A and B are shown apart, each in its own frame.
Chain A
Amino acid sequence: QKEVEQDPGPLSVPEGAIVSLNCTYSNSAFQYFMWYRQYSRKGPELLMYTYSSGNKEDGRFTAQVDKSSKYISLFIRDSQPSDSATYLCAMRKVGNTPLVFGKGTRLSVIA
């Protein structure tokens, strides 16, 4: 079993829909949680960064962390065709440790 699990999709939604993307993890030592967006043939772009549990909102994006359930989510409101990309969750432990990624979820927003 991998440390970070993410449903690869693909996920297809109509424009304007609310999108929910999720990851689960097994290692309770993870404390920092990130979501990246990756367009085809490009490098990952950081969307959200949270520490420990709770919610964080930035424009149309909301990140949630539930450490008790080892579950993190990214919500996208009013989804746009430009949101079509692969979304990667990533997390790390305290200290100088590397990011551990999920497989990514491929999202298509249909106009």
Chain B
Amino acid sequence: EAEVAQSPRYKITEKSQAVAFWCDPISGHATLYWYRQILGQGPELLVQFQDESVVDDSQLPKDRFSAERLKGVDSTLKIQPAELGDSAMYLCASSPTGNTEAFFGQGTRLTVV
């Protein structure tokens, strides 16, 4: 069964350091999302891609976060510098188009110390 792959599963980093997360969506899925989930809360959108183009990054803290999806396949989310408040689960999801259900990966749990 096709899955969204994310790595690493867990990451501990010191504040002010740079950190990067990788996501490989289900093959053929044009839409890719990065969500952040704080413990006890629902996921909140950081950025949405359609192929290689950004559709929505209105909630992405652009002073420290960046995201790219070169060639419209896999994607990288970067934080530089990391802050204590960035500790959360970072979830990647994909869908065939923007009008269908989204499938999530297992997430990357980030702890900033």
Contact = CB atoms under 8 A, between A and B. Distances in A.
A44 interface: yes
Interface residues of B, number: 28
A103 B41 contact: yes
- A: interface residue count bin: 20 to 34
A110 B56 CA distance: 42
Given A6-B42, A90-B102, A104-B42, 11 more contacts: A43-B6, A43-B105, A43-B107, A46-B103, A49-B100, A88-B42, A96-B50, A98-B48, A99-B33, A99-B43, A99-B93
Interface of A: 4, 6, 8, 32, 34, 36, 41-46, 49, 88, 90, 94-104
28 contacts: A32-B99, A32-B100, A32-B101, A41-B109, A42-B107, A43-B91, A43-B104, A43-B106, A44-B43, A44-B104, A46-B102, A46-B104, A49-B100, A88-B43, A94-B99, A95-B98, A96-B31, A96-B55, A96-B98, A96-B99, A97-B98, A98-B45, A98-B56, A99-B43, A99-B102, A103-B41, A103-B42, A104-B41
